[in-house]
Amino acid sequence: MSDAIHNEVLALLDEVLSLDGRALGFSADTPLLGELPELDSMAVIAVIHEIEARFGIEVPDDEVDGNSFATVGTVVEFVTRLSARQRG
């Protein structure tokens, strides 16, 4: 897992969800969807839009499911996989 992508995902989550720095201390195992009240269905859409903007990738609708947002690590894997596929 790329530290750069991990750190950017933490910063992105912190900004989009207005966590005031809390996300910066999250680990790859930190649960998100269903555990973090700030990450509701509308916030997931905002996070996806920010992922597209920051990483310069397109997130196809059929690639998005709850598992992609289960933990910080699954978000990082999601971004890494899409980035590799679209740049590959």
What domains are defined for the chain? 3-87 (1.10.1200.10)
* Cα distances (angstroms) measured from residue 40 to each of 57, 80, 86: 22, 23, 27
Give residue 76's pLDDT: 97
Would you give per-residue pLDDT tens digits along the chain (88 residues)?
579 999 999 999 999 999 999 999 999 999 999 999 999 999 999 999 999 999 999 999 999 998 999 999 999 999 999 999 888 6
Helix 41-55 vs helix 3-16: angle between axes, to the nearest 10 degrees? 130
Which residues, 6 or more positions from 2, have their beta carbon under 8 angstroms from its beta carbon? Answer: 76, 80
